[in-house]
Amino acid sequence: MALAFQDYALLDDDDCDARIVAAKAALGSRLVILGHHYQRDEVFKHADFVGDSLKLSRNAAASDAEYIVFCGVHFMAEVADILSRPEQIAILPDLAAGCSMADMANLIKVRQCWQELGQIIDVDNAVTPITYINSAADLKAFCGEHEGIVCTSSNAQKILEWSFAQREKVLFFPDQHLGRNTGYRMGIPMAEMVTWDFTKPMGGLTETQIRDAKIILWNGHCSVHQAFKPEQIDDFLVRYPETQVIAHPEACFEVCEKADFVGSTEYILKTIREAEANSRWLVATELNLVNRLHEECKADGKNVHFMSPTLCMCSTMFRTDPQHLAWILDNLVAGDVVNKITVAPQQAQLAKKALDAMLAIN
């Protein structure tokens, strides 16, 4: 019988740490723990691999591990299940760890959008659906079903270029900002990038707007990156004019326009790590990552600052705590798998088709 989480909920972090270390030793190579950059330090330190979601899933699939424990959110564990071998088991420590951005686009709303677009244009021949990897498996499957593709914040421009070589338009979901920021840097006029409001008929757009659009952006966003504002950059530069500003493309257009550098989490890490000593940086991405980078770079005299003056961490990522991780691992030692993430075979096949199309371009 599986161990109950209620017996772990009140354990202190030190006790959990000891249990996690013991369980990892007992399971050995049968286990791999993946830690996304946005995880809290108390969990992040136990990861065997750290990074962004796709990189982590590929690392796990290439490992010998039987159990893949993904310290991240639900869509990440789904990708791990899709890309891993049949004998590998993907596990999410806390099933409540979701993604508010991913939740803004669900299959019912996307199918409705596709049908409504079909009343105006020939969607199957004119539109390539692209889903950001920060989305549910059924939306990745939708893209696979309609000859679409998945993108990441690192490869979004390559994926858009590929998509325009297939068809004249793109439906991009769930994050409008990544789509807009990438499209703009490719020279696509703002007037040719329209936002589909899924709460309104025809997305709140006119037939002319839809026909003239190059990119149809889903009205979704990341709650963390939505907190960054252009005036925060202005205020900081008044005090420290030598500062270099770097932003994740999930931040709004106005923030990315004011930034000196725009790129993925891995790009942000690489850029600041390779920067000159004693430089100063203002960073628009998640708090845990920025705090770790701040500590790491102090030895070089670099000053790394978080852009928002208010607390801004990913609350759903924060759900994965040492208590849940200890509970998951102790159950594995006892021979029980809890919180297994399984994508249905047909859905997984279509989702993998869209993921494989992306990986072939990389």
As a whole number of angstroms, the distance between CA 156 and CA 332 comes to: 37
In order of 17, 26, 66, the CA distances from 331 in angstroms are 15, 12, 14
Output the six-digit token pair for 235: 């205020």
Domains contained in the chain, CATH given: 5-97+316-342 (3.40.50.10800), 102-223 (3.40.50), 225-306 (3.40.50.10800)
Q: What is the pLDDT along the chain (362 residues), one digit of tens a residue?
A: 788 999 999 999 999 999 999 999 999 999 999 999 888 899 999 999 998 889 999 999 999 999 999 999 999 999 999 999 999 999 999 999 888 888 899 999 999 999 999 999 999 999 999 999 999 999 999 999 999 999 999 999 999 999 999 999 999 999 999 999 999 999 999 999 999 999 999 999 999 999 999 999 999 998 888 889 999 999 999 999 999 999 999 999 999 999 999 999 999 999 999 999 999 999 999 888 999 999 999 999 999 999 988 766 666 767 899 999 999 999 999 999 999 999 999 999 999 999 999 999 96
**Sign of the CA dihedral 55, 56, 58, 59?**
positive
The pLDDT assigned to 312 comes to: 61
Q: Look at the chain and count its residues.
A: 362
**DSSP for residue 199:** T
Estimate to the nearest angstrom the gap between the alpha carbon of 78 and the chain centroid. Answer: 12
CB environment 275-305: b (16+ within 10 A), e (fewer): beeebbbbbbbbbbbbebbbeebeeeebebe
Let me know: does 249 contact 178? Beta carbons within 8 Å: yes
pTM of the model: 0.93
Let me know: does 175 contact 218? Beta carbons within 8 Å: yes
Let me know: does 37 contact 288? Beta carbons within 8 Å: yes
